[in-house]
């Protein structure tokens, strides 16, 4: 009989393309302290919408999620909606953008920028 294994879930994942783009943006800004803040706000066609911003400061109640040489920051209100999600980056005919692949979303809009749980 083997012992119990512990499993610590990662609150958010970061795709390779998002990590590469984030690293390039940080290098362009010339500030190695920058992190990508991912947040959720009310609004959008499906109820909530995702937002992204650079953060060079982390509040006491923020969750900092490091991925090697880059990191994500999430505020406590947004955290509950983002657990288990993957932050991705895509480039296409419509442009380039960060996006969230959220397994907790029951409905999303066509562009993927808003969701409902």
Q: In 63-78, which positions are buried (b, 16+ CB within 10 angstroms) versus exposed (e)? A: bebebeebbbbbbeeb
Q: Are 105 and 117 in contact (CB under 8 A)?
A: yes
Q: Spell out the residues 6+ positions from residue 57 whose beta carbon is closer than 8 angstroms to its own.
A: none
CA separation for the pair 75, 31 (Å, rounded): 21
Q: How many beta carbons lie within 10 A of that of residue 56, not counting itself? A: 12
Q: Is 45 annotated as a binding residue?
A: yes
Write out the binding residues. Answer: 45, 109, 111
- Binding-site residues for iron-sulfur cluster, in ranges, read 45, 109, 111
């Amino acid at each position: 009989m083997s012992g119990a294994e512990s499993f610590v879930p990662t609150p958010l994942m970061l795709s390779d393309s998002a990590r590469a783009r984030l690293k390039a943006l940080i290098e362009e800004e010339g500030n190695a302290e920058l992190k990508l803040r991912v947040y959720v706000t009310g609004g959008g066609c499906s109820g909530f919408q995702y937002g992204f911003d650079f953060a060079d400061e982390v509040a006491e109640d923020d969750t900092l999620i490091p991925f090697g040489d880059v990191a994500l920051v999430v505020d406590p209100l947004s955290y509950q909606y983002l657990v288990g999600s993957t932050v991705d980056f895509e480039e296409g005919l419509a442009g380039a953008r960060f996006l969230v692949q959220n397994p907790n979303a029951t409905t999303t809009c066509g562009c993927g920028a808003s969701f409902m749980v």
